[in-house]
Amino acid sequence: MLTQNAFIELAYSLVSIRDLDELLGTMLTRIRNMLDADAGSLFIYDEESDELLFKYTQNDSLNLPFNSFRMPANEHSIAGFCAVRNNVINLEDVYHLDPKFPFDFNPSFDKMSGYKTVSMLVFPINDMNGRLIGVLQLINKRAKEEKITPDNADEIVIPFDQDDETTAHSLSCIVGMALENALLYDSIEEMWKGFISACMTAIDSRDPITGGHSQRVTDYTMLTAEAMSEDDEAFPDFKLSPADLRCLKYSCMLHDFGKLVISENILQKADKLYPGMLEVIEYRFGTAKAMAKLNGKPQEEIDELGKLLGMVQKANIPTVLDDDTSGGLDKCLTYEFEDYDGKTHTLLTEKEYIYLSIKRGTLTQEEREIIQSHANHTFDFLVKIPWTNELKLVPIVAALHHERIYGKGYPFGLAGDQIHMQGRIMAVADIFDALTAADRPYKKAMPVPKACAILKEEAERFALDKKVVDYFVDNALYESIIGRQD
């Protein structure tokens, strides 16, 4: 019989484990060792489907790949019978079962693997309310520690005894408490994943032009962070635990969350003018041209109107504004004409002129500041969520991807080591995807070599972390992701 201290120690060790897979592995190993079982398997009960999910298995005599499967929780199988009856089952020899049992032993695993199952001790796992949550099977109690084969099984394997049954009854409570705890954490984790995935969908639907960006930034960041964490030579002081990686992943997935409050017109602005504005300008030019003809203006002036309209149309395209086109816009702002009602107009309004005079890209300074405010909104929204201790850095890390090493980034204006390493990694991923993404209607995807060169330039001018950039580029960490453009 096991001592009270052994039970207490087991309870403490199991209840402290939150990760479900880690718990199942530890649980099965500890219990098998306690009862000298060569093998074991664990089923999780799915109450909704009334099925048992084959979730984990161990075998000291075999090393075979694990394949999960489901089966009905009924009396036609050993585990199912245990689940239905909610009782411990002690089988001395599964190939010679008592006729009172409604089930038969399925020998397919033994035939496939060359193993021989003899004795089994099967017990239900219940939560604190007595509700079934799983079934644990212990297989082949050993008289001595040797690998079991069909040839030596009868010599090595012995039946589980009454003390083992008593121990199983006692263990059921401990195992149930630990498993219920882990399943609860697992369900919370799944809920978070679902919530964050829904947030990503909302972000993509709000800004379909950059759809897929959040996922790619997540992929680039996680791949880089994991590689850096495992590279003791290049980054001896940078180590991320599974909890740290989960926190970083959520931060990446939510890094553009603040865009949900940014106007769609600004987010989706593909040209310098908003939709419909160019048509209004073209109509105005048409009126000016008609009035010039009506008033007998020289043909040179009429032709000049056509050239100026061409410059306006060219200026609307988000390329670098050249001096000639800029001069043409100046003329449009000062050229006056009277319409059919005698009202005086210029070819361009002040607002249209400001939009068309954007030197690079499609956004005015005011619009750019509105876009940049998404990082503040991301932090402000996420900081209101009561994150667990392991995830408490999500709001700050999610908001750091526009911070720059030289201290002139946003939203906080942090510099150097003030910026979490996770944020510095995400900044590299964010810029790389913005340069190489094929889903932007206003620009072509930049070739990877050129994008990498720009990252290097940004590092040289202390915008990005040089060690991160060099590691990302020199190891071509983008290669497995770059082709996956949504």
**Domain segments of the chain: what residues?**
4-184, 207-266+366-474, 277-361
4-184 folds as Beta-Lactamase (3.30.450)
- pLDDT < 50 stretches in the chain: 486
- pLDDT number for residue 281: 97
Range list of β-strands (E), 318-358: 336-338, 344-346
- pLDDT number for residue 486: 46
- pLDDT number for residue 2: 59
Q: Report the CATH architecture of 207-266+366-474.
A: Orthogonal Bundle (1.10)
First to last CA, the chain: 60
In tens, the pLDDT along 125-179 reads 998 888 999 999 999 999 998 899 999 999 999 999 999 998 888 888 788 888 8
Residues 6+ apart with CB under 8 A from 339: 287, 291, 345
- pLDDT number for residue 171: 80
- pLDDT number for residue 467: 98
Q: Do 331 and 308 meet the contact criterion of CB atoms below 8 Å apart? A: yes
Beta-bridge mates of residue 126: 132
- pLDDT number for residue 3: 62
Across the chain, which distance is largest between two alpha carbons, in Å? 116
In tens, the pLDDT along 197-239 reads 999 888 888 777 677 899 999 999 999 999 999 999 999 999 9
Report the predicted TM-score, pTM, of the whole model to 2 decimal places.
Answer: 0.76
Range list of β-strands (E), 263-397: 336-338, 344-346
- pLDDT number for residue 485: 54
Q: Do 204 and 217 meet the contact criterion of CB atoms below 8 Å apart? A: no
